[in-house]
Structure 1
């Protein structure tokens, strides 16, 4: 079964251009003569397959991303973790949830679910609920590495990754995997990342960072895991798209907002 993956956003928590910055990359991002691939909104994905649309994360730019990509319906949302750049667009799910019969299913680990329930308390309260809150139902995902969520004929498997001092959730779906905001991949997760067509990795900048993978480290991880294709995301204004990509091997590319890929998201049964 073929799926289309769309990068809704590929930037860091501060986005590119970064407010108050006039560096060459930030300037290029907004200049009519610059490279539009340098304009990076906060990171998230859209997946379309089997006549359904799945989101991974809803950052603070989700409203604009949904308009840009003509998103009229969403059938489920999976979250990687509870940081602001991944969850603050949650409330923009409201009009999309109103178009459904039944609640929109939301999947998150326990820590992320608690963050959503705290920030958007008015959505989840049992009494005196705000009448036009998003119509959603939150599901805690099994924290076991490789545990799966079956959605519309595909299985989304949890791939734990390290994000600084935290463990967060990456996902494998069919022969693609999405590992944003990762600084390391635990040994227990490596078997879940074999035989990939598409691997999407965090690559924040050129210099090392305490809670994100940097460019050289991400290249080394690609060479270790040997996917057929790799794409870097969650990139800061340290990385100019054209100049950085020119130094990479042909099977490793920088993602950019709006980039679309196709891959096989084969039917699978959750463990």
Structure 2
């Protein structure tokens, strides 16, 4: 049986904002005009660094800029939470990844996300695209995943988690005692046991007011109270949160994520 690698692991928040990003185009609120760099939020994504390579979760429209900002020189695999634009539309820039991998990029996702990728980036899958050298179109190797069924990537066990995002079904991911749960408005009954015993929980908290497809702050804190992880970082944040003042109101061991925040787990 393949031995999984358990050496120290690192997570960096490439983006911690909502689908509009922060600042919001045309907005002149106190957060959008803030000088606090933690209020500058690109679309939501994280990169997990393991001894055997880097796993990227979602490809945001700012993916290229996020990776350059964090000096990430190689992505070895991609996993998708779902197929919405703010999590998907940077994929074209992944056309450079195979140059450093020596082959297609492994992509771990559900069937619906694969279908969206094949539609939105259709030019990467036409027959003539297969003859192009690396760097011209994304070259991908799809690996189907299912909630509750672990898969192995880069020497790690990754457990997909079923989450509900309004009327959409999406995935969260658990790696060891860390779970990444963005874009969620409800945790189904079957997923609660899979979130027990966490050291680190990363959880959606869009704004103060309730929202039909995301947890608001009160709902997210209710999840934290039920699961009682060692620490929690809230992500997918709107311009409703001014980073510094908001953090002073949060319970112990709960913090707002920000772009560039790095964790070891």
1:4 counterpart residue number: 10
Measured against aligned partners, the alpha-carbon deviations of 1:156-203 in whole angstroms (never above 9, x if no partner) come to: 111000000011111001110000000010110001001101000000
For residues 123 and 71 of structure 2, the distance between their equivalents in structure 1, rounded to whole angstroms, comes to 28
Q: Helix, strand or coil for the counterpart of 1:2?
A: coil
Task: Count residues in correspondence.
Answer: 255
Q: How far apart are 1:124 and its partner, in Å?
A: 2.1
For residues 121 and 184 of structure 2, the distance between their equivalents in structure 1, rounded to whole angstroms, comes to 25
For residues 181 and 194 of structure 1, the distance between their equivalents in structure 2, rounded to whole angstroms, comes to 19
For residues 27 and 246 of structure 2, the distance between their equivalents in structure 1, rounded to whole angstroms, comes to 20
1:233 counterpart residue number: 235
Q: Helix, strand or coil for the counterpart of 1:86?
A: helix
2:36 counterpart residue number: 35
For residues 37 and 46 of structure 1, the distance between their equivalents in structure 2, rounded to whole angstroms, comes to 18
Structure 2 length normalisation: TM-score? 0.94
Q: How far apart are 1:98 and its partner, in Å?
A: 1.6
Q: How far apart are 1:128 and its partner, in Å?
A: 2.1
2:258 counterpart residue number: 256
1:13 counterpart residue number: 19
RMSD: 1.0
Written as runs of structure 1 = structure 2, the 5 A alignment for 1:190-209 is 190-209=192-211
5+ residue gaps, structure 2, are 1-6
For residues 155 and 91 of structure 1, the distance between their equivalents in structure 2, rounded to whole angstroms, comes to 27
For residues 160 and 4 of structure 1, the distance between their equivalents in structure 2, rounded to whole angstroms, comes to 24
Q: Aligned match of 2:160 in 158, 161, 175? A: 158
Q: Aligned match of 2:144 in 140, 144, 148? A: 140
Structure 1 length normalisation: TM-score? 0.92
Say if 2:200 and 2:229, in contact at 8 Å, map to a contact too: yes
Which consecutive aligned stretches of 4+ in structure 1 deviate over 3 angstroms post-superposition? none
For residues 63 and 138 of structure 1, the distance between their equivalents in structure 2, rounded to whole angstroms, comes to 21
For residues 21 and 184 of structure 1, the distance between their equivalents in structure 2, rounded to whole angstroms, comes to 29
2:48 counterpart residue number: 47
1:223 counterpart residue number: 225
5+ residue gaps, structure 1, are 29-33, 264-271
For residues 231 and 142 of structure 2, the distance between their equivalents in structure 1, rounded to whole angstroms, comes to 33
1:60 counterpart residue number: 61
